[in-house]
């Protein structure tokens, strides 16, 4: 009979390492609803289930994660050899 391993719980520094996000970004995104919320084990200890973090990472790569940052909304610009601003590396220049 196969025994399943218990769910692994992650602290903030581990979540930060797995996602490459800063700790303050994680806390901000939790408050904004952009990142899974932790579970409080006590008044000073909060943890995330590894499966929740894995699912969030998968959603980012599947294109399901919304990016509200101004940088993400800004169209990428390319410059031609004549220093003209172009909409894409193969598009028309302004």
Residue of 24 and 1 predicted with greater confidence = 24
Distance CA 52, CA 22 (A): 18
- DSSP one-letter string for 46-81: EEEEHHHHHHHHHHHHTT-S----HHHHSPP-EE-T
Quick one: tokens of 40? 């409080």
What's the whole-model pTM score?
A: 0.62
Residue of 56 and 91 predicted with greater confidence = 56
Domains along the sequence of the chain with CATH: 9-69 (1.10.1660)
pLDDT digits (tens, 9 = 90+) for 5-35: 789 999 999 999 999 999 999 999 999 999 9
Residue of 46 and 83 predicted with greater confidence = 46
Look at 45-49, 70-74, 85-89, 90-94 and tell me which has the smallest mean pLDDT.
70-74
In this prediction, residues 29-52 reach a mean pLDDT of 96
Distance CA 82, CA 74 (A): 22
- DSSP one-letter string for 2-49: --PPPPPEE-HHHHHHHHT--HHHHHHHHHHTSSPPPEESSSS-EEEE
């Amino acid at each position: 009979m196969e025994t399943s391993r218990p769910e692994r719980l992650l602290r903030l520094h581990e979540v930060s390492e797995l996602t490459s996000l800063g700790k303050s970004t994680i806390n901000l995104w939790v408050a904004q609803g952009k990142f899974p919320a932790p579970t409080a084990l006590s008044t000073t200890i909060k943890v995330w289930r590894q499966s929740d973090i894995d699912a969030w990472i998968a959603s980012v790569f599947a294109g399901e994660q919304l990016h509200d940052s101004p940088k993400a909304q800004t169209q990428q610009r390319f410059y031609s050899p004549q220093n003209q601003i172009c909409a894409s590396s193969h598009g028309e220049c302004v």
